[in-house]
Amino acid sequence: MPNTPIPIGSNRQLLLDRRLIDELQDARQVLHQPMRRNAAVRIDHPWEEGGLAYAVLFKDGDRFRAWYRCIPHADNNKTDRACTAYVESSDGITWHKPELGLIDFQGSTANNLVIDDPDLVNFSPFLDPQAPEQERYKGIGRRGAIYTATSPDGFHWRKNPEPVQTEGPFDSHNIAFRDPWTGQYIMYTRGIRSDGELGHGATCAFKEGVRWIRRATSDDFVHWSPLEAIDTGDAPLEHMYTNSCVPYERSPGLYLMFPSRFVNSRSPTPDWPYPGVNDGVLMSSHDGLHFDRLFPEAFVRPGPDPGNWHDRSVYIMRGLLHTGPAELSLYMTEHWRMPTSCIRRLTMRLDGFASVQAPYRGGQFTTKPLIFSGDQLRLNMSTSAAGSIRVEVQDENGKPFPGLSLADSPELFQDQTDLAVQWESGAEVGPLAGRPVRLRFVMYDADLYALRFCRREE
């Protein structure tokens, strides 16, 4: 039923879909693009001269760690001979390539290579904190099938000899992780889809369909469910070259996906031998299978750099790193097939992928009925100097609660990622915990990115 209350507990809610929103009036939902920053990893060794791509990055103890694909020859179209290399960082900004002494390259092990196995190309590792020490790190790679591997330290990998998925295609960055909410292992791989309306510039040029994304689950990392195509509702079909899916742990139950959209029919550089151009898009899900595409526009555009206006040159990597008090860092590859190929850092505000935005003249929105826990409402919000946000708490029929009406709300005018709301009447939301409520936001020249209820001491 449309007015069935949505249980949100004390989980942070990002406003990047319409799940919580009942009515928008003179306001709109807006996608926000990240800012390009420094080149985090560049080609500076012979084993990387074919290009850098497909990084996986995560926080591990007191350091950031990353594994990336490098091709140790100039022909970057022969990815079957790609290797996996390793970098680490104390801040997510400056990255160091340690000499690991593990893999021989041209007679020397003085390099940062960790895997040289044709069955584990495009390797995607993850940390599994619940696993036994010898299998604390896990990962998947591909050749004609998907293979798994385990490691005690992220450096020394043991491949399991039998593939776990054999129904291809898998020629992409297939990724895996342990779901922090269900405890299952999740795998997202390449797939094919042909049953829908095509988007701008897309043609059924990949095995009579478009490149798509499939999902499988496992309870033990050994036995996997059959691969199943993700669902994006009635969104147009486009070539989704990668997926880079992550569980967004600041909002339990939310999955974010950053596919590289491949527009295969376009080639803005006439003398470039490979057709197509890429950008990055954003999709979200609350079950890991059905993904929302409220924003079909690009999350990351190629930009003014001509080196990004050819095939496969905008790939968002797998990983979101908390690199500042209010900053997230993402990473993308640039300049594929060029000597200047690199992994570049991008930044954005915490939870700042999208917002409900009101203009100077004002706008408002009301949520569907929610059931929360806690005794305080907090907002991730930004206003101009002249802008503001006011909040009203209503019952499920839209009647304001005494002391929590719009007239009792102060004008909030700040830029904060976790601002507590206090009503001038002194009324509290705690007594309403467990009961259906609606929130009404009246906004002027302002953005609201996320909200959460929590206990005051949190």
Q: Which of 241, 79, 261 is nearest to 172 (CA)?
A: 241
Spell out the per-residue pLDDT of the chain, length 458, in tens.
467 999 999 999 999 999 999 999 999 999 999 999 999 999 999 999 999 999 999 999 999 999 999 998 766 666 667 999 999 999 999 999 999 999 999 999 999 999 999 999 999 999 999 999 999 999 999 989 999 999 999 999 999 999 999 999 999 999 999 999 999 999 999 999 999 899 998 999 899 999 999 999 999 999 999 999 999 999 999 999 999 999 999 999 999 999 999 999 998 788 888 999 999 999 999 999 999 999 999 999 999 999 999 999 999 999 999 999 999 999 999 999 999 999 999 999 999 999 999 999 999 999 999 999 999 999 999 999 999 999 999 999 999 999 999 999 999 999 999 999 999 999 999 999 999 999 999 999 999 999 999 999 88
By the 8 A CB rule, do 281 and 314 touch?
no
Residue 174, Cα to own-chain centre: how many angstroms?
14
Residue 129 to residue 134: CA distance in whole angstroms: 11
Q: Which of 212, 230, 242 is nearest to 285 (CA)?
A: 230
Domain annotation for the chain: domains and CATH numbers = 6-32+354-454 (2.60.120.260), 35-349 (2.115.10.20)
Residue 158 to residue 148: CA distance in whole angstroms: 9
| Residue with the two structure tokens 């593990």 | 102
Residue 155 to residue 378: CA distance in whole angstroms: 42
By the 8 A CB rule, do 404 and 377 touch?
no
- pLDDT score recorded for residue 1: 42
- pLDDT score recorded for residue 75: 61
- pLDDT score recorded for residue 182: 96
Query: The tokens of 78 are what?
Result: 């022969």
